[in-house]
Chain A
Amino acid sequence: MTTTMDETGTREHRHGGTGGTGREVKPVPAWRRRLRPYLLSVPALLITVGILYPFVLGAYYSVLNYAAVRPTPEFVGLDNFKTVMSDPIFWTSVRVTAVYALVATAVETVLGVGIALLLNRSSIVGKIFEKVLILPLMIAPVIAGVIWRLMFNPQFGILNHVLGLGSTFNWLSTKTALWSVILVDVWIFTPFVAILVLAGIRSLPKEPFEASDVDGAGWFYMFRRLMLPMMWPYILVAVIFRFMDSLKIFDHVFVLTAGGPGSTTRTLQIGAYEDSIINLNYSVGSTYMFLLWALVFLTARYLVSVLGKAQKRAAGSET
């Protein structure tokens, strides 16, 4: 990327279209002008390379048998992938991660869009609450995990008391733990979807709604035919962020359950943590992460292409 600079059509040229203008008092040689964006990007490029280095090293670990007990690792090809993929606990992690990401994203999207629509009405109640909407989102997920762990406590936790469940209901049992950590995710991240969608709704043009109101269109028709298609890009941006983040969820789950009880909340990143940091088997942990990274990468590619199409369609429906 550093060799050819022929297509450095700078924007200042395109703007200064009417002949002769754009000439600087002290002319800067063309080669320096072309080089400028590259020079400005050099520090960022160096940092990027610095971050990519451990990343590539991590990918390399997955074809070694590197562990703390084996400081001089050997090349083992795809053995780690074979081992990991024939291990039932890996598939448990995949299932937990998939359920977590799909359910959390779906619930947060529906709730977030609902809250955005509710807050968009000009009501006093909505105005008051809009200010505090983002509070859970700005608290560290770890702190959220700590708060909820105390609330979930069967003996003195407030939830069982307020909901009248007595002191026997266990929010973090084998059966309930996954749903409880998803509940906490919903508590933290629904405001994220809500504020993005709310900003989207507020940026929509008013004319189509007024026009179809005059035409006597019903609420549901307008929502489905006008608002939803125009809002769709905003919803998708929120969905992309939430889904990608859920696939690599760690913080609050780790504090709440550390992957337990059993492996019922052992997401892929928690699995990788167990293998590489607790068991000090770096290669197995890296194999987990490489597979997760591939999953995240492919999902991102797909979702971004969906977003591109939706943006085009929404732009079309506005005109």
Chain B
Amino acid sequence: MATELMPGRKRLTTGSVVADLAVIGWFVFSLFPIVWMVLLSLKTSAEQTSTYFTFSPTLENFGTVLSDRGTALTSVDFTSALLTSVVNCGGAVLVSLVIGIPAAYAAGRWRYRGSNDLMFTILSFRFAPELMVIVPLFVIYNQVGLFDTKVGLIWVLQLVTMPLVVWILRSYFEDLPADLEQAALLDGYTRRRAFVMVALPLVRPGIAAAALLAFIFAWNNYVFPLILTGSDNSTVTVAISKYLGGGGQAYYNLTAAAAIIGALPPLALALTIQRYLVRGLSFGAVKS
């Protein structure tokens, strides 16, 4: 009936059972690949292609992936890729915060000429085809020695992290009543102190959400490190894709273990900011 559209009334009807079954159907589809990946990561090399569900599970693969033994077997140095990803993404988010917060504050607090142009230019980076920027950068980086460096990647990751930080935080600063800072100014605070002591603490959840979401997307990014790094500063995403490439013996169980390790940081971070996720993912367009 009509009230089904809005929650409230609880009844067990054929309709609600069918709806529940549909929900379960989606989640079987949605979770099955992840479950299978976990199973695969627990198999030994002998079992990886020979069995589906019955095997004796072992955690050995995770150790192998993170050790020199794994590097020797697969020629993928996963531990150093992990480290590189942490440094790159941490660095990229930090730069975006330091540069983005003032700009987001200015755009959220005042209407000034050019404000919208700057904001939409920054947003357009999010939607621009990456290779349009990467191809020239590939040439430039090779000339100036930034190819396969962390600095080079932190710079280009601004395309991912900057629009997120600026747009999410602008929407938070917009929601903040200007009267609060006004009151602080009347109390004799300087503009800067009013910002640091009043505005900034109030948008702390927004800053955390923006920072973590930016970190997730920087971490998950593939196309920038694929083209702009070589073997020295390969990231997690590139390392994982390398397990499948090349000839020789295939280590599917190691691939699965590496994929799980690589997927864990974003998943853990996403769960901690679940409340702010919708607002972040829509760049502040949908507030929940």
Contacts and interface: CB of A to CB of B under 8 A. Distances in A.
A2 B113 CA distance: 8
A54 B140 contact: yes
A150 B40 contact: yes
Contact of A41 (B52, B98, B106): B106
B266 interface: yes
Interface string A1-27: 110110111111001100001101110
A239 to B, nearest CB: 12
Given A44-B118, A237-B282, A140 B112 contact: no
Contact of B220 (A111, A140, A210): A140
Contact of B20 (A125, A155, A247): A125
A223 interface: yes
A293 interface: yes
A145 to B, nearest CB: 8
B16 A37 contact: no
Given A156-B49, A268-B129, A282 B139 contact: yes
A150 B8 contact: no
A221 to B, nearest CB: 8
B161 to A, nearest CB: 11
Contact of A285 (B109, B135, B140): B135
A288 B243 CA distance: 30
B277 interface: yes
Interface stretch (A78-86, A99-107, A112-120, A168-176): A112-120
A285 B137 CA distance: 13
B266 A223 contact: no
Nearest to A311: B285
Contacts of B22: 114, 118
Interface in A106-150: 111, 114-115, 117-123, 125-126, 129, 131-136, 138-150
Given A48-B122, A217-B2, A138 B129 contact: no
Contact of B110 (A11, A51, A196, A203): A11
A69 interface: no
A272 B135 contact: yes
B57 to A, nearest CB: 16
Contacts of A91: none
A30 interface: no
A244 B127 contact: yes
A100 B243 CA distance: 27
Contacts of A212: 2
Contacts of A43: 98-99, 102-103
Nearest to B267: A138
Give the residue among A10, A41, A282 with the most B Cβ atoms within 10 A.
A41
A61 interface: yes
Given A40-B103, A58-B133, A161-B52, A122 B118 contact: no
Interface string B110-131: 1111110110011011011111
Nearest to B95: A47
A90 interface: no
For the complex, would chain A's binding face be called helix, strand, loop or mixed by DSSP majority?
Answer: helix
Contact of B286 (A134, A199, A210, A300): A199
A302 interface: no
Contacts of B23: 115, 118-119, 123, 125-126, 129
Interface in B20-71: 20, 22-24, 26-27, 29-31, 33-34, 36-37, 40, 48-50, 52
Contacts of B226: 254
Interface string A213-232: 10001110011000100000
Contacts of A273: 131, 227
Given A121-B16, A285-B135, A129 B27 contact: yes
B286 A234 contact: yes
A202 interface: yes
Nearest to A212: B2
Given A28-B191, A47-B158, A61 B282 contact: no
Q: Which 6 pairs of residues, A with B, have the shortest CB-CB distance? A: A1-B114, A44-B103, A140-B220, A199-B288, A37-B106, A156-B49
13 contacts: A1-B118, A21-B186, A24-B185, A41-B115, A61-B135, A111-B26, A134-B274, A147-B33, A156-B252, A195-B277, A276-B135, A282-B139, A292-B129
Interface of A: 1-2, 4-5, 7-12, 15-16, 21-22, 24-26, 28, 34, 36-38, 40-41, 43-45, 47-48, 50-52, 54-55, 57-59, 61, 111, 114-115, 117-123, 125-126, 129, 131-136, 138-151, 155-156, 158, 161, 187, 191-192, 195-196, 199-200, 202-203, 206, 209-210, 212-213, 217-219, 222-223, 227, 234, 237-238, 241, 244-245, 247-248, 250-251, 254-255, 268-269, 272-273, 276-277, 282, 285-286, 288-290, 292-293, 296-297, 300
